[in-house]
Structure 1
Amino acid sequence: MFCQLNKTKKRWRSMFTVVLTCPKEQEKCKLPPEVCWHIGASISNGSWLSQFLSVFLTDLKIDQIVTFLPLPPRALPLQELVDELYNFRDCYFETHGVEEAGRKQSDVAKEIEKTLKKLEEKEDHFKHKAEFLLQKGRCLNVAPDFSAVAEECLSRAVKLEPGLVDGWNTLGEQYWKKGDLIGAKNCFTGALQQSKNKVSLRNLSMVLRQLPAADSAAHAKQVMESVDMARQAVQLDVTDGTSWYILGNANVSLFFSCGQNPQLSQQALSAYAQSEKVDRAASCYPELHFNRSTLFQYEEMFSSALGGYSRAAELDPGWEEPLEREKQLLEYLRKVTELLQNKGKVKARRLRTMLSNLSTSALGPCSSPEFRSPTGRVGSLEPRTLSSLTQGHNAGVAALGKVVFSLASEGRMAFTFGMVDSEETCIVVMVYNTADSWGVLIGDSVVIPEPQVKRNSITHKDESFDFRSIRVDSPLLLIVNGKKQNVQSQLAASVSYKPLSE
């Protein structure tokens, strides 16, 4: 079908002949195919020609839907070109199997080179324009390391166009990679002054947690601000998995910085789960699995922790820390299981001598009617054997025994020791938030008020572990050799993230 369209306004005095054709009528086309392609490209780009044709097709009351000849691939706008590069990196495992994880870094590097080449083909036309400089800087920023060329491009871009929010955000990431946290913070803050946006907010959330602080109070304040920034980022776009993930990390930092409130732990785990729910790519973030496993390990969810470390190592084979954490935790569980089975390798005769000295006098302040337990209960505690303790919280009672081994594993979060009672039952005790100088010795008498007992059944790959344990959140809760522990025994736990791990 041929349509001759005439635009009579002063602005448009030219006569346009446009050929619209169905595939079966291609032989009737009197214009070269490339002319139709150019027209189709214009319409698909939403240009003035699209509006022009739309008006006349409406006036002609054309009811039948027709198609242009197949279009060749059109040149992508600069931003779309670089956006595809980011999508390739962030969604790599949607098109590649996890067995190809070792190739990801080299594959991304190749795509960076391809994209850079396409950009440089347009450099003569755009090199003095802020948009070109921005997209070249963004392209180079896909690489994990600092790029001086990227920094130069982005610096020029924001000088040419100070309102370029993407420019400030990407420049901030370059400063961050260079180790200039103050410079990065200033860039993200500057971008927020131009426009409130989720990228600046979540980047600022991460930087605030890594900035050095004068003291613990100042650090706690920075972490609180970090959580607030991450929450604001989520509020701007609840469908962004990256924002949810960074909120999870912020809550983990707050959990370890401000007293291990169980509610914060649950908020962190919920944020991680939401990240994976709204964004399939988030489940392939190695850092998400690693950071969540740190929390799982602290919560003594050992199977989940091992699985997370293993998954992080699979997704990023070049990152050594997840594999190290997995090995350390497995070795810790092996040692605990072995020492429990042989009661710390204490010889039977020595063990009997140790237990003969175990008496209710070791209860110390726990035997007083005025004793206040960790839950706030006032009254003396009744000594119980380890075998009689139930799973969970044991109110009104105390576990009493002798130390037969202690274990300080690499990368630990808890000081671990084994305790044997009068029945020669052995149990492992995990004490959290201990100062480096604190510990117990073999033969010490230990009382645990209202013990929290847990059954650990762990399976990972081809190994299984099964044992009971008592969790103690602070050494201040223990009575050792009839005495309470002093405040210097306690030190808040902490967790750290490598720069840009989020």
Structure 2
Amino acid sequence: SHGVEDAGRKQQDILEEMEKTLQQMGEIDGCSQGRARALMLKGKALNVIPDYNPKAEELLAKAVKLDPELVEAWNQLGETYWKKGDITAAHTCFSGALGHRKNKVSLQNLSMVLRQLRVESTEQHAQNVMDSVRQAKLAVQMDVRDGRSWYILGNAYLSLFFNTGQNPSISQQALSAYGQAEKVDPTASCNPDLHLNRATLHKYEENYTEALEGFSRAAALDPAWPEPRLRQQQLLDFLERLTSLLENKGKVKVKKLQSMLGSLRPSQLGPCGDGQYQGSSGQKVALEHRLLSALQPGVNTGAVVLGRVVFSLTTDEKVPFTFGLADSKGPCFAVTVYNMVQSWGVLIGDSVAIPEPHLRHHHVQHQGKSFSFPGIRVETPLLLVVNGKMQGPGTQAAATVAYRAQSE
């Protein structure tokens, strides 16, 4: 109902509407059932602001005590506990509400809190994430026209993606759910969290233009929220630094660069050069050594490239580890390595062989800025041969993601 230029006034407008609503409600007396509902409505009105309100908790706690069957009061009370930081109590409220009546709001909220419950093991967290997806699916099934349910399902898939080995099909399910949220509910397009979470996934997938657009849109929709603008600037800084280093081959002096590249030897291919490389099918295959400039877009099956590291690029987010790779001819290529432990890395001058490299020519445009560069994506350091040696299992770690889940 408002243009994006009014987004900065949203919280103040809501606060004014809340005060107006509370004045209109006044004091409502009546039977215990009517009183429970009156208390619930007052608590609900106080609960529209994003911060915890102790008065809302007090009113809603009285409401459920007077009428334990009042499902909406349980849902609202769960939200106050959630804002308070008591995730366990919130989980109890949403589960209890479902015990009284199956409803999409409890399912939506339960899906969210399941991913935030403190657990003792990664296995239990993974199980909670799976259960989170199941609850979100049930909410969608109850009302396929509810954009919030689709959005929460997208977030559940997003968590599943980062907790179960980054399966591309799960990534697509998350993007599809976000798209469906916008399709069935125009208000979903005004949800800054949706744009931030989807942009986070696009960035991981190296869809940089879409990521920048998403961060920008989230920032416009919630000007008081610093996270989207910070993420956008971090990505722009990364792309600017990366393209500059690639163009200058890490600013390595010509003589030193010639010496580095001239000392590349077939022996540095390690298992990739002697027919001992184990392909995705599990069979050992012989790989053909190719120059970086001879690679084709997509996965270069049956090929291996060998080059020297001419720079590495670190960011606050740590993932991915990014470095520049050059060989005896042609330009320098960006290499992004995912799922590595923070202690892993390569040094300038190291030789790196990449079997069956996945090449993508990036062309990024955003707000008058453009970046173009060739990039090779490596899903795990276990695939790399560094200085003639395969990397051990201790170099791999699971990726994690952070997003503003409470206000999903």
TM-score higher than 0.5: yes
**Corresponding residue number in structure 2 for 1:196:** 102
Q: Shift of residue 352 of structure 1?
A: 0.7
Of 313, 324, 329, the match for 1:418: 324
Equivalent residue runs for 1:161-176 within 5 Å? 161-176=67-82
The equivalent of 1:362 in structure 2 is 268
Corresponding residue of 1:35: none
Residues 1:131 and 2:37 aligned together: yes
**2:387 aligned with 1:471:** no
Aligned residue for 2:349? 443
For residues 438 and 112 of structure 1, the distance between their equivalents in structure 2, rounded to whole angstroms, comes to 52
Question: In the TM superposition, what is the alpha-carbon distance from 1:186 to its structure 2 partner?
Answer: 0.3
Aligned residue number for residue 187 of structure 1 = 93
Q: Is the 8 A contact 2:307 2:352 kept in 1?
A: yes
Q: Distance in 1 between matches of 2:266 and 2:298?
A: 23
1:273 is paired with a residue whose SS is helix
**Cα deviation code 1:382-420 (max 9, x no counterpart):** 110011000001000101100000001122531000000
> Which stretches of structure 1, 4 residues or longer, exceed 4 Å deviation after superposition?
124-128
Q: Distance between the aligned counterparts of 2:109 and 2:189, measured in 1?
A: 20
Following TM superposition, by how much is the alpha carbon of 1:255 offset from its aligned partner in structure 2, in angstroms? 0.3
Equivalent-residue separation in structure 2 for 1:134 and 1:453 (angstroms): 57
Q: How many angstroms apart in 2 are the aligned matches of 1:433 and 1:375?
A: 21
Higher RCO structure, 1 or 2 (CA under 8 Å, sep 6+)? 2
**2:146 equivalent among 203, 216, 240:** 240
Tell me the C-alpha RMSD between the 2 structures: 1.2
How many Å separate the matches in 2 of 1:375 and 1:309?
Answer: 38
- 2: distance between equivalents of 1:334 and 1:175? 43
Aligned partner of 1:384 among 269, 272, 290 = 290
Q: Are residue 293 (structure 1) and residue 184 (structure 2) matched?
A: no
* Whole-angstrom distance in 2 between the partners of 1:384 and 1:375: 22
Q: 2:18 corresponds to which letter in structure 1?
A: I
SS of residue matched to 2:285: coil
**What code does the residue aligned with 1:322 have?**
P
Unaligned runs of 5+ in 2: none
Instruction: Give the Cα–Cα distance (whole angstroms) in 2 for the partners of residues 204 and 142 of structure 1.
Output: 19
Greater C-alpha Rg: 1
State the 1:462 CA deviation: 1.2
Structure 1 residue identity aligned to 2:242: V
Which position in structure 2 is the counterpart of 1:225? Answer: 131
Residues of 2 paired with 1:177 and 1:131: CA distance? 22
CA-to-partner distance for each residue in 1:185-234, whole Å, 9 max, x for gaps? 00000000001111111101100101122121111111001111101110
Q: Which residue, 108, 113, 116 being the options, matches 2:19?
A: 113
d(CA) in 2 for partners of 1:280 and 1:132? 31
How far apart are 1:378 and its partner, in Å?
A: 2.4
| Matching residue of 1:260 | 166
> What secondary structure, in the 3-state scheme, does the structure 2 residue paired with 1:448 have?
strand
How many angstroms does 1:126 deviate by? 7.6
Query: 1:357-386: per-residue Cα shift (whole Å, max 9, x none)?
Result: 101111101123232124545212111001
| 2:253 is equivalent to residue 342 of structure 1 | no
What code does the residue aligned with 1:403 have?
V
Q: Provide the C-alpha distance between the structure 1 equivalents of 2:283 and 2:232, rounded to a whole number of angstroms.
A: 39
Deviations, residues 47-97 of structure 1 (Å, cap 9, x unaligned): xxxxxxxxxxxxxxxxxxxxxxxxxxxxxxxxxxxxxxxxxxxxxxxx211
Question: Residues of 2 paired with 1:213 and 1:488: CA distance?
Answer: 24
**SS of structure 2 residue aligned to 1:110:** helix
1:303 is aligned to 209
Question: Partners of 1:431 and 1:441 in 2: how far apart?
Answer: 14
- Measured after TM superposition, the shift of residue 487 of structure 1 is 1.2
Q: Is the 2:361–2:375 contact (alpha carbons within 8 Å) kept by the matching residues of 1?
A: yes
Shift of 1:176: 0.3
Q: Distance in 2 between matches of 1:165 and 1:260?
A: 37
Instruction: For residues 96-115 of structure 1, give each alpha carbon's deviation from its aligned partner in whole angstroms, at most 9, with x where no partner exists.
Output: 11011000110010000000
Contact 1:416 1:431 in 2 (8 A): yes
Unmatched segments (≥5 aa) in structure 1:
1-94
CA contact (8 A) 1:240 1:275 kept: yes
Aligned counterparts of 1:277 and 1:389: Cα–Cα separation in 2: 39
The CA distance in 2 between the partners of 1:476 and 1:374, in whole Å, is 13
SS state of the match for residue 137, structure 1? Answer: helix
State the alpha-carbon separation in 1 of the partners of residues 115 and 210 from structure 2. 25
Residue 311 of structure 1: how far off its partner (Å): 0.3
TM-score with structure 1 setting the length: 0.80
